[in-house]
Structure 1
């Protein structure tokens, strides 16, 4: 790493939603110049679009990316990991750092299948704005310097937070899925406001957007915690208290049910990934 940027080559296999978010965030942050990024994708049109938007960005095959990259983000679907790893296996030397961005593929599985250094980084759409968290789980082969350099890289686009393996799903529910969950709830609030009152959708959306931005800033600067903010707004006998009573009654179990549902899906994904890696004949020994 060097101040104001990096000298290593960052590779991305897969330029879907999260891959593109990471690529564009690193470029926008100024940490990684386009010429230090190499990308491959099943559909070449996506890589051509990225290259047109970011002069100097390099595109190639999966093998080209794996060969050139010092740090390699694997941004494919989880059940494509085995196929991609088999394809690039001969490029994954012990000095390279392989990063999974999916919750269902663990670092121990990847360490058992490759000789390189491994970590998992779960990004969030909030990283598009160079903010929000990125979840990090380190493999056993990273030294102190490796860990520090990865955290420095991620700090350019996020607040990297190290998590334990057993907390992967719930942490991802909050950080990665959370923006969609709460966007859904906010839209429900807007839709109900339009349905129940004379306010227009445009007006309600603008008010909601400004409220959310302001709320985020209050929490960011540490002026309030969630409980103290509620206490400050909710005066005895006031309208806010009536609304909170309704929310408490109507949403009492909604997040328990949400977490149970996401974990059931996660358990299925974990089993599918285990089956994918069950055949060890091509694995690293």
Structure 2
């Protein structure tokens, strides 16, 4: 199976490297193009066998699955470019949340899907959120999910929940890394513990907590109950957290959704302006 990547930026390169290192595919099975060809060439240098293409159209040739790892405002132009060359047996996959399946289905004569990857896929962990177009049969969904299962747990979702599941799965690592950083910085400031020591302890704590919530089958409430003895230190601190953080994640979700709708409007305008396919 040949896999194509249009875009070798942060997430495109992460997916390429994760697929190779997990042995989902060999480097010789990958074709990649990028607006700045140097990024694609750097990947080919690191993983000999990757085919670097000078333009996006060549990526579409002889590939079964093509990942579009590009910015929202670039989609209309790229779709217009590759549209005459895709065929119905291909799966074109967007990894960009504001690009709707309806944008792709209206222009491409093939099966389309959207996935939301996560930086956690770099460690062959976390979820990959899968959203499928109307024309993609179960067989083709299974083919894509089998590939993604090497680096994640593929989870099928409805497109209407794209933004909130992206907040949790894709943005979540940054949010909780930020909170962990605040915890560590405060520990260093208040007690003088070394940053390196605090980071090692805190990182392992976060990993262990994740395992409790997944493989351990515990709920978030159960973790708190098991740690916090009534009237004890943890219970006192949890009262503070509950009081001081009330509503903060509601505001966070409102913020991400507002930006999503801004980006969606940009995508709609670019598709209208480009008049994809010359219509």
Superposition TM-score tier, normalisation by shorter sequence = over 0.9
- Counterpart among 120, 130, 141 of residue 124 in structure 2: 130
- Counterpart among 2, 14, 21 of residue 21 in structure 1: 14
1:44 aligned residue: 37
Q: CA deviation at 1:223?
A: 3.9
Gaps of 5+ in 2: none
Q: Secondary structure at the match of 2:272?
A: coil
- Counterpart among 202, 221, 231 of residue 227 in structure 1: 221
Instruction: Answer whether contact 2:72 2:267 (CA < 8 A) is retained.
Output: yes
Runs of 4+ deviating beyond 3 Å: 279-285
Gaps of 5+ in 1: 1-7
Whole-angstrom distance in 2 between the partners of 1:78 and 1:117 = 20
Q: Secondary structure at the match of 2:32?
A: strand
2:75 aligned residue: 81
Instruction: Answer whether contact 1:98 1:119 (CA < 8 A) is retained.
Output: yes
Whole-angstrom distance in 1 between the partners of 2:72 and 2:20 = 25
- Counterpart among 82, 90, 98 of residue 84 in structure 2: 90
Q: CA deviation at 1:257?
A: 0.5
Instruction: Answer whether contact 1:114 1:284 (CA < 8 A) is retained.
Output: no
1:4 aligned residue: none
Tell me: CA distance 1:252–1:235, structure 2 relative to 1, closer, same or farther (3 Å).
same
Q: CA deviation at 1:133?
A: 0.3
Structure 1-normalised TM-score? 0.94
Instruction: Answer whether contact 1:113 1:284 (CA < 8 A) is retained.
Output: no
Tell me: CA distance 1:170–1:284, structure 2 relative to 1, closer, same or farther (3 Å).
farther
Tell me: CA distance 1:83–1:281, structure 2 relative to 1, closer, same or farther (3 Å).
closer
Tell me: CA distance 1:52–1:222, structure 2 relative to 1, closer, same or farther (3 Å).
same
Structure 2-normalised TM-score? 0.96
Q: CA deviation at 1:284?
A: 8.8
2:115 aligned residue: 121
2:269 counterpart of 1:275: yes
Whole-angstrom distance in 2 between the partners of 1:48 and 1:282 = 29
Post-superposition Cα deviations, 1:202-240, rounded to whole Å, max 9, x if no partner, equal: 121111111112112222213422111111001111100
Whole-angstrom distance in 2 between the partners of 1:279 and 1:49 = 34
Q: CA deviation at 1:280?
A: 7.5
Q: CA deviation at 1:92?
A: 1.2
How many residues in Structure 1 have an aligned counterpart in Structure 2? Answer: 278
Q: Secondary structure at the match of 2:5?
A: strand
TM-align CA RMSD: 1.3
Whole-angstrom distance in 1 between the partners of 2:161 and 2:216 = 25
Whole-angstrom distance in 2 between the partners of 1:274 and 1:133 = 28
